[in-house]
Amino acid sequence: MHDDRSLVESRLKRVLDERIRPAVHPVSVPLRAGIWTAPGEPVPVAEGLAAPRTPIAVGDAWGAPWSTSWLTVSGTVPEEWAGRTVEALIDLGFDANMPGFQCEGLVYRPDGSPVKGLHPRNQWVRIAAPAAGGEEVLLHVEAAANPVILDYHPFLPTELGDKDTAGDRPQYRLARMDLAVFDETVWELVADLEVLGELMAELPVEGARRWDVLRAVERALDAIDLQDVNGTAAAARAELAGVLATPAEPSAHRLSAVGHAHIDSAWLWPLRETVRKVARTTANMTALLEDEPDFVYTMSQAQQYAWIKEHRPEVYARVKKAVAEGRFVPAGGMWVESDTNMPSSEAMARQFVHGKRFFLDEFGVENQEAWLPDTFGFAGGLPQIIKEAGSKWLLTQKISWSQVNSFPHHTFWWEGIDGTRIYTHFPPIDTYNCSMQGREIAHAVRNFKDKGRASRSLAPTGWGDGGGGATREMIAKAARMRDLEGSARVRWERPAEFFAKAQAEYPEPPVWMGELYLELHRATLTSQARTKQGNRASENLLREAELWAATAAVRAGLPYPYAELDRLWKTVLLHQFHDILPGSSIAWVHREAEATYAAVAEELGGIIDRAQRALAGDGDGELVFNSAPHSRAGIPAGGALRAEALPAAPGRCTVEPRAGGGFVLANGLLRVAVDARGLVVSVVDLDSGRETVAPGAAANLLQLHPDFPNMWDAWDVDRFYRNTVTDLTDVDELTVATDSAQAVRVRVTRSFGSSRAVQTLGLTAGAKRLDLDTEVDWHETEKFLKCAFPLDLHTDRYAAETQFGHLHRPTHTNTSWEAAKFEACNHRFVHFEEPGWGVALVTASTYGHDVTRTVRAADRGTTTTVRASLLRAPRFPDPHTDQGPHRFRHALVPGAVIGDAVREGYRINLPERRVPGSAEVAPLVGVADEAVVVSALKLADDGSGDVVVRVYESRGGRARTRLTAGFALAGARVCDLLERPRDGEAVRVEGDDVLIELRPFQLLTLRLTRV
């Protein structure tokens, strides 16, 4: 027989496109329309409904960037349509290829109740089934003219990302506003042919099944009268019934589909628009749940539920009803789908605390999976946090985006830095926006790496980012693949059902230890420096506010600001969303974030000040408060002493001219040589006599690279950026800034390109560290600024702080896995060590860094170079990223062991505060072993007055110590992150002491009850 596959397949495509799909709505009549455009930001629904309209017709332009227009559409159902299903078809000017990235609409009834969203792949509104002839139709559409930022030619710089620069040219033209008859038989035929046509394309040519499907499709096409599709659709469907009824093989892969609409809480739109994206999508999904009994929908991000509750209570009522029925499933248990690399230990914990508590309070639901499909890699401390929050599973998709290495598993145990393991699944379908296309289903089957041991995977299904979620077409296709030969078996299932079945089938999958590094989007550790600094400052202020507010409540009876701290935590957690904190959102988002962080700082500063003044009491003295978890300068951790009682720092500082230019700084612990270029050419640890800087090299060296990645400008840095580097060695001015017995500072000023940098280098009496303050007035474009520290150290690995501990990364590039980690994340420190001697670089606000290793020809010694990433200047999606002034603070700590790195990291982030008063403030809790760090100290969220203290082992060893309460202790209980006591876990209490034992990097939450 001749091979006529291509002939039949081409015939199928044309007949579907040109005859069958248009026949789904065979007859239509136009609707009338009027429009009103809100003059500024979106208005309340009642105002939009009541506003006067002016006529608008199909083909007319509408929608300046970021504007909101209210359309009213009206018409009459023709008498001859009586008894038939009638729908309104409203096309606002959609591009079907861009669901979620352009204009959207939410349809309302005249009484203001929401109906459903309008999106490029979802343009219909059911009017009646059956309809009455002469029935009047009146609908209102709140239409958002969100501009297209990520266009067909992606990553082009655009000013559309901020309403202040976007202009007012209309973006869209109305394309269709009709009443139409809906022919369900033709619609079902479309689904039949799409499923079989897509299946056929994935089947092997040599297999009989492909030819069976091909011949059935051919018969169906023969049965259709192209001049009367509606009259012959049933006959065509009859020809397909047999191949659609053939059951799947017993070994067929099992695909658990769950309705999903990944909605970035901000990205190419501002936060206020996400509120409306969520409302449109949830209106769609709750309506679809009512129509489709097998369908299950899941939504993560408690913040998004809170937005609907506040701004669209009618939609929220539908959500609550569907949740109660078990059809609308809260997932993830986090406040937002946050970045997981950069948030601090406590912030990562609070993502789960606030997310899970919201779901418990609102729905009585405690989900057990973390749901992070789009986050840019996963820190090694996360498994313990997930487990301590009461969850046990993790789903993500993003690791499939890695550029170099394909992750070897789809289902596995992920082991964190402390040994905690979380059952983890990466859907082999390689998308979190599955649309039930045959190629997606077949890819999941072929790609699944656990064949022979497991047979299940998950498919998050639906258009995201305001694309409207799952569609009725997706559900129809899934129904046909429920038990279909040649296809995976598809079932709608809740995430928990999938995980329970997957774990029962495959209880001992492979183990992956350490971070889940994404080999892409590495530059998100640096882009938008102000956003990152605002986050770090807010985290530090929240720690201080809780510490001093709790201390003041216990010591002075000051009311604890429960509501204020709850609200402020949620604000900070929101801005840790994985396109805000990473710096990959439009200018509008980051402009608002900067203002929000300033407001957060002011409010938290007020809470701290009130608490400290209540503690300091009256008197003409001055108290110095220490918020760090380590004592310093005689001040205990979490306590305060009178300034005049503090011991003087030992030794004295000196600064002298250096032969050949520059200066030599010394404080009895370190001797630092700064040459005529303003570069650090020597840092000698006087205790050991060790030189820190590699021979012939210079530290604190600013380096400039070109930075134009192949794509994803704000997200990516490609390794070829290193091929070209400019060392910034020209100096405008080098002077002594401070010269006293207690501190010496030198200042160096440089100009480069259109920018200027001022660096201050200094020593302080009694401190074994070189303080580095860098101010940059940045006006470069597509450049990457780094600060290099070549160290005279031989080591094959280094430590980088992460949540509740640190992880080790290699300094070499033996394998492709190691070479791919050419830009990585740290929190407060990186630490390098030979046996007996080490160096730490600590930071107050930067996250990105790189480490390289070379062997010197002259002496065969090893130079280990660490470079802190300071600034970038990508032009997409914000063409003005990071322009203007910035300040960075670092410190180089020679002779540091890991405990020194931990201590100095906290010190640079939590400076002392000075407050008038004369009272001595004793710590609320004290820990005998400095390896055990207090991560949080607060009052219990339930208002009981219990003191909650969270500690962790910070050095990677075991700890057995006493935690002493600075108040009369009635009892102590071990709790989870949500402050719920754990059955069967007890600690020993001796008087006001709690005896604790910790394994390496273990976190422990204690609830201390006061007498």
Task: List, in order, residues 6 or more apart from 211 with CB less than 8 Å away.
Answer: none
Cα 346 to Cα 232: distance, rounded to the nearest angstrom: 64
Nearest alpha-carbon partner for 732 in 794, 782, 801, 676: 676
DSSP 8-state symbol, 18: I
What's the distance, Cα to Cα, between the start and end of the chain in Å?
A: 91
Angle at 626 between CA 623 and CA 631, to 5 degrees: 120
Cα 846 to Cα 827: distance, rounded to the nearest angstrom: 8
Cα 206 to Cα 208: distance, rounded to the nearest angstrom: 7
DSSP 8-state symbol, 17: I
Longest dimension (CA), the chain: 104
If DSSP codes are grouped into helix, strand and coil, which group holds residue 655?
A: strand
Catalytic residue numbers, as ranges: 374
Cα 462 to Cα 260: distance, rounded to the nearest angstrom: 5
Cα 102 to Cα 172: distance, rounded to the nearest angstrom: 9
Can you say how many angstroms the Cα of residue 333 is from the centroid of all Cα atoms in its chain? 14
Query: CA 225, 231, 234, 235 torsion: positive or negative?
Result: negative
Angle at 431 between CA 428 and CA 434, to 5 degrees: 105
Cα 120 to Cα 467: distance, rounded to the nearest angstrom: 7
Helices (H), 575-714: 587-616
Q: Is 724 in contact with 783 (CB distance < 8 Å)?
A: no
Query: CA 436, 438, 441, 444 torsion: positive or negative?
Result: negative
Can you say how many angstroms the Cα of residue 760 is from the centroid of all Cα atoms in its chain? 34
Cα 762 to Cα 758: distance, rounded to the nearest angstrom: 13
Pairing of strands 913-916, 622-625: antiparallel
What size, in residues, is the chain?
A: 1011
Backbone angles phi, psi at 615, to 5 degrees: -80, -35
Structure-token match 């499907």, residue found: 213
Q: Is 801 in contact with 341 (CB distance < 8 Å)?
A: no
